[in-house]
Structure 1
């Protein structure tokens, strides 16, 4: 009788985060180009907030933020972000469902035999989720450049952006807590080279651990 196959080693997590306008989405796309699965918490949050049950809870807690069966994100932001208690209530509705979706996607990646998965989470440190990561990659850029990028995307004023930035962990503290920091000053070639270096480190960790 053949011995049972050894269980597959656990999937490792790379947390990806960065302050508003740093270029995290560009780095996520580059990581995908290297064959890594990137699980986007914001994307899962958008899917969660399209669920009828969640919309009903949103309208009950934040009246006027659901219009025609669709969440009015601008109205929600205006209602919630100035009020820490409202932010906590919003997180209580959305975050458990997002975490469940991320866990399911991670399980699918593990079943495919993937060795690393990237969790793209804007508030990774603020939510204490860095504790569950095997490594953390922070994308950073000077504040003036981040402001220009965020303004160019539209939808937010300079004051909105600065207020959101102020509610997050300071960029220097994110860098201090990171395993790796990528500086994104706008040169795509330099950015791609930095991402390739991080991916090389990921595979080197696999080799050091003796995993196939």
Structure 2
């Protein structure tokens, strides 16, 4: 059982919106931020998870390790296949995040932020006291990801299409932070949101 003052905040946004930058700014302000992508990478190194993935996607586990590019090619752009992968990975990731969150609460942390790219897609918004969405114009998001991951425009568009539309995320959010400017502007917006929601580390 988590202590009464404990707050659980979700952070999400479409690909290239700037979740990592916002997570860093939160950490700099003293907040505990748990990264679902990091936990997903750890989960997909576990033998039981690899076995479950290989059973559904034969040939993507090579030498006891996940061939991530091969798996990506099998699921991105194919919603039904992506749903199968998510059904394997997401429950395991949520379990790891819950353990880390409980440990933080036990240590006296008042607010834990979970950085979850597919928060709404996974139907986990009800787990949070508030959800922050970071957003940016589509072309800016595409250029960021193309430069960061050395992907083609088509590949990034396919990944973006596999996510809930940004406008829908904005409607479901408790607060939206715009990331079309510089980091100074982002920090100012973040400060205002933390004040409005009365969030403290």
Question: Which TM-score band (shorter chain)?
Answer: over 0.9
CA shift, 1:191, in A, is 0.8
Looking at structure 2, the residues matched to 101 and 130 of structure 1 have their Cα atoms a distance apart, in angstroms, of 17
Indicate which of 119, 122, 132 corresponds to 2:117: 122
Matched length? 199
Indicate which of 141, 161, 165 corresponds to 1:166: 161
3-state SS of the aligned residue for 2:33?
strand
CA shift, 1:155, in A, is 4.2
Gaps of 5+ in 2: none
Larger radius of gyration: 1
Tell me the residue number matched to 2:41.
46
Indicate which of 97, 104, 109 corresponds to 1:109: 104
Looking at structure 1, the residues matched to 3 and 78 of structure 2 have their Cα atoms a distance apart, in angstroms, of 45
CA shift, 1:85, in A, is 2.9
Verify the 8 A CA contact 2:9 2:113 in the aligned structure 1: yes
Tell me the residue number matched to 2:145.
150
Spell out structure 1 runs of 4+ moving beyond 6 A: none
Indicate which of 71, 75, 85 corresponds to 1:76: 71
CA shift, 1:68, in A, is 2.1
**TM-score, structure 1 normalization:** 0.88
CA shift, 1:152, in A, is 0.5
Looking at structure 2, the residues matched to 133 and 198 of structure 1 have their Cα atoms a distance apart, in angstroms, of 16
Verify the 8 A CA contact 2:90 2:122 in the aligned structure 1: no
Tell me the residue number matched to 1:97.
92
Change in Cα spacing, 1:18 to 1:205, as seen in structure 2 (3 Å) is closer
Matched, 1:22 2:17: yes
Tell me how large the CA RMSD over aligned residues is: 1.7
**TM-score, structure 2 normalization:** 0.92
Change in Cα spacing, 1:125 to 1:43, as seen in structure 2 (3 Å) is same
- Provide, for residues 157-177 of structure 1, a one-character-per-residue CA deviation record: whole Å limited to 9, x for no partner: 211111221222211111111
Tell me the residue number matched to 1:179.
174
Matched, 1:13 2:8: yes
